[in-house]
Amino acid sequence: MKSKIIKLIGAIILMGIGYATYIWFMPHRNVQAVTAFETISATDLVHAFVTNKEKANATYLDSDEGESKVLIVTGEVAKISKDQLGQHVVLLKNKTDKMGVSCSFTTETNDQVSNIKIGDTISIKGVIRSGAEYDADLDLIENVIVEKSAMLKK
């Protein structure tokens, strides 16, 4: 009886250690493996935030763990740049729009950007981080931020 109790306690301790190890080393979400919440044009996505910021935040941002919606965004390539981390950043914005969707690529997907050029219409899959906003007083243009991006295969 005593040995059974010791074995049971040992098993519980091992399970506890196992769970703690799993939590400690739990990998980040693989955005590209997640099914996209919706396919939307850059213009419509910007419009959703400009017309009703609260509603758009509620629709696209996650409240529990910051794991916001994965989207497929389609639009015209207006700018290609690099951030301080060396990640390519592609701005999808139609010529008549003031704001667009800024999509940052990753170490794994950076090379995909070499195949695109200004004016191309493309689709990018990534996770949304924040919405578009324009502060007229400060002339501050804030695009929709999308990260962990990859080109959607045609």
Nearer to another protein, 64 or 153 (CB): 64
- The contact set with another protein (CB under 8 A) reads 23-29, 57-58, 61-68, 81-85, 87, 89, 102, 104, 129-131, 133, 135, 138-143, 145, 147
Nearer CB in complex with another protein: 11/20: 20
Please, which residue, 3 or 84, has the CB nearer to another protein?
A: 84
3-state secondary structure of 17: helix
CB of 26 to another protein, least distance (A): 5
Burial 73-103 (b: 16+ CB within 10 A, else e): bbbbbbeeeeeeeebbbbbbbeeebebbbbb
